[in-house]
Chain A
């Protein structure tokens, strides 16, 4: 009897647990099924008839954002979109360090847990190559789906085309399907603190040797801990795609060359070694003592409070501390172009492009609703609002650049407009599209960190070793003509 009692108690306990669990789970499932079925029937109405914002009324889409002022601006206006279209938007914002890991997992699962996400150009090679992304061109071309006032031609052509790619490793971007719509783009510039430079009688560097000289001379400019030039250095691909990549390309360095249907790394070519050697010296003699853990926000902090005399990074990161009131040294900060390698001219200019774009999951079951979201949040009207809200720069649309609020914001930063005009034409993707890009850039960055710590006898040795590693990483990629 007693034993029975005990086992009954246990069974009951177990059943209670199971029951509450399945009950919770069950109701959740049911709800989802219901909404799924209604959505299925609704999207058909979009097939015929004219464009109307409420053609996907009642649907729910899921949007994943990276933490960024651009996405913050969208989040701020999602209510407006929901009111206009009757679409419900579920969104989530992920910290930048883990953002792409999460996107990769969601896309790979092929499920319908993701409709829209933010992407950068490098990620397109992996995602579009795998078939995870929806070509947006057909939507733009379809007058039944795209509002007449959306104005594709208002985008800067080079920036919009930077989202195009034919999906073949080794082929450069700019042609083929359109994988994303730009939210903004980033070029690369130099920021200097004119007060500090003047105090030390140092001219604004125009060449790389002048830059090295100036940065070395400014080391410890206002006492201990202050240094010449702020550069990103934290281990990761992000540390290579701004300053390093610009100098590398301007020096004439190439990442890969196609050899017999395979990619062959060029990181130990004479230009590449010479450039890297110079870059390592720049860090050692004029960079931050804690360069190897410097992220973009360390750079912004250091230039903003006068710890660093100069900073080279993406234009949006460089802009941030220069806005009056945004930092202690804001009024002394001036934006200008990146110094050119000695003997290089205007033709050698190369500024690495970064774009944050909005893209659509090809496995999405609510593509029309997703497209409505995409066009709403890339429209000229919204972009003007977004850039005002985000207090950030490099708008991808002409109409935004022309707007009063945008010019007022940009004009407040010294040298910014001139620098943008001088760099925009040479701002593009200088990296060879291939799907192992992150592995390649990580190894590359690790080598530079090791070179900076003096772990190799010479730069040549380090880069030779790196070439071997990189060739192995990309050995599985076939390059077609």
Chain B
């Protein structure tokens, strides 16, 4: 018994040590990025942590070039894509959870399979279609293609949520005289909210960070942030500081959202995995 306890304690300690190391591994690059963002080009090589912070990098990125424009475009595309995903995904998840019908798992699997259609496979045909339908470089086209990124995840998370809600609850509400619409918006939506919010955030992150679609399917009127970020490697001088600023700005909206919904974030992604 005593030995067992000691073994457990050792295990716990090992876990804690790993946690510390992992935290360093996960967080340090971000801290380093923030430090570099405030470093001038001249101090880049011979200083580590002690230097005169400067806002010059921020000023350059925000006033020159197309980064601010790309930021706004990215926000519209990713936001629009998530909105579309939610609008079409919630009913779909409900249908997959509530109804038994032929080929149900087949349909569910097909939807998931869009998550694994490699982007470079479809990019050329999609490009051709975009050109024919005049969707190239339009928000409509970009939002349509971006919603594929998050939709499968969203549907799968929410399907689990709907499955967790006992059908009896809906029945009871119906008997109490609530309309279907009231049940859906007043009962079901609040119940699935953690999952909805968390899945929407993940979808947003995946859209926000996409590179290939933004590179190939838009450019003149719309530019995405990942493509724009890479243009800060320029021949004249190597602006490591500006690259860091670009990276910092790119993750700010995601961090803000993450902080806003942190309550739901962990709770929301249970995939209906464990019914408790």
Chains A, B in direct contact (C-beta < 8 Å): yes
Whether the pair A6, B180 counts as a contact (CB closer than 8 A) is yes
A24 CA to B144 CA, complexed, in Å = 12
- By the criterion of a CB under 8 Å from any partner CB, how many residues of chain A are at the interface? 50
A98 within 8 A of B: yes
Whether the pair A113, B234 counts as a contact (CB closer than 8 A) is no
A391 within 8 A of B: yes
A90 within 8 A of B: yes
Residues of B within 8 A of A344 (CB): none
Q: Mark B213-241, 1 if CB is under 8 A from A, else 0.
A: 00110011101000100110111111000
Q: Mark A300-338, 1 if CB is under 8 A from B, else 0.
A: 110001000000000011001000001110000000000
Q: What are 30 A-B contacts with C-beta separation under 8 Å?
A: A2-B179, A5-B180, A9-B180, A10-B91, A13-B91, A17-B87, A24-B138, A24-B139, A24-B140, A25-B133, A25-B135, A25-B138, A29-B134, A64-B219, A67-B234, A68-B234, A69-B234, A90-B221, A91-B220, A92-B220, A94-B227, A98-B230, A101-B216, A111-B136, A113-B137, A300-B238, A301-B238, A320-B237, A328-B45, A328-B46
CB distance from A436 to the nearest CB of B (A): 20
Interface residues in B115-129 (C-beta closer than 8 Å to A): 124, 127-128
> Closest 4 interchain pairs by CB?
A95-B230, A92-B219, A90-B220, A67-B231
Across the two chains, which residue of chain A brings its CB closest to B131?
A111
Report which residue of B127, B179, B215, B235 has the largest number of chain A beta carbons within 10 angstroms of its beta carbon: B235
Residues of A within 8 A of B87 (CB): 13, 16-17
Whether the pair A67, B233 counts as a contact (CB closer than 8 A) is yes
A102 within 8 A of B: yes
A45 within 8 A of B: no
A52 within 8 A of B: no
Residues of B within 8 A of A24 (CB): 138-140
The answer, among B124, B133, B231, for a CB contact under 8 Å with A95, is: B231
Q: Contacts A93-B231, A392-B235; is A21 near B144 (CB within 8 Å)?
A: yes
The answer, among B138, B181, B220, B234, for a CB contact under 8 Å with A72, is: B234
Q: Mark B164-188, 1 if CB is under 8 A from A, else 0.
A: 0000000000100001110010000
Whether the pair B219, A392 counts as a contact (CB closer than 8 A) is no
Whether the pair B236, A94 counts as a contact (CB closer than 8 A) is no
A159 CA to B233 CA, complexed, in Å = 27
Interface residues in A107-132 (C-beta closer than 8 Å to B): 109, 111, 113
CB distance from A359 to the nearest CB of B (A): 17
The answer, among B42, B140, B238, for a CB contact under 8 Å with A21, is: B140
Residues of A within 8 A of B223 (CB): 92
Q: Mark A63-76, 1 if CB is under 8 A from B, else 0.
A: 01001110010000
A404 within 8 A of B: no
A288 CA to B135 CA, complexed, in Å = 47
A126 CA to B184 CA, complexed, in Å = 58
Whether the pair A9, B66 counts as a contact (CB closer than 8 A) is no
Interface residues in B87-107 (C-beta closer than 8 Å to A): 87-88, 91
Whether the pair A2, B174 counts as a contact (CB closer than 8 A) is yes
B258 within 8 A of A: no
Residues of B within 8 A of A67 (CB): 230-231, 233-234
Whether the pair A32, B134 counts as a contact (CB closer than 8 A) is yes
- Please report A residues at the B interface, Cβ cutoff 8 Å: 2, 5-6, 9-10, 13-14, 16-17, 21, 24-25, 28-29, 32, 62, 64, 67-69, 72, 90-98, 101-102, 105, 109, 111, 113, 296-297, 300-301, 305, 316-317, 320, 326-328, 390-392
B56 within 8 A of A: no
A5 CA to B140 CA, complexed, in Å = 30
Whether the pair A102, B215 counts as a contact (CB closer than 8 A) is yes
Interface of A is mostly: helix
Whether the pair B236, A109 counts as a contact (CB closer than 8 A) is no
CB distance from A147 to the nearest CB of B (A): 26
- Apart from A67-B230, A92-B219, what 18 extra A-B contacts exist at CB < 8 Å? A2-B174, A9-B181, A9-B184, A21-B140, A21-B144, A24-B139, A24-B140, A25-B133, A25-B138, A67-B231, A90-B220, A90-B221, A94-B219, A98-B215, A105-B127, A300-B238, A327-B237, A328-B46
A300 CA to B84 CA, complexed, in Å = 46
A9 CA to B188 CA, complexed, in Å = 15
A5 CA to B179 CA, complexed, in Å = 8
Residues of B within 8 A of A98 (CB): 215, 227, 230
Whether the pair B235, A69 counts as a contact (CB closer than 8 A) is yes
Whether the pair B136, A113 counts as a contact (CB closer than 8 A) is yes
Whether the pair B131, A109 counts as a contact (CB closer than 8 A) is yes
Report which residue of A16, A113, A326, A390 has the largest number of chain B beta carbons within 10 angstroms of its beta carbon: A113
A14 CA to B87 CA, complexed, in Å = 8
The answer, among A16, A32, A93, A300, for a CB contact under 8 Å with B66, is: A93
Across the two chains, which residue of chain A brings its CB closest to B124?
A105
Report which residue of B124, B230, B237 has the largest number of chain A beta carbons within 10 angstroms of its beta carbon: B237
Across the two chains, which residue of chain B brings its CB closest to A4?
B180
A90 CA to B137 CA, complexed, in Å = 11
Residues of B within 8 A of A113 (CB): 131, 136-137, 220
Across the two chains, which residue of chain B brings its CB closest to A317?
B235
Residues of A within 8 A of B238 (CB): 297, 300-301
Residues of B within 8 A of A102 (CB): 215-216, 219
Q: Contacts A28-B134, A102-B215; is A109 near B128 (CB within 8 Å)?
A: yes
A29 CA to B138 CA, complexed, in Å = 9
Across the two chains, which residue of chain A brings its CB closest to B65?
A93
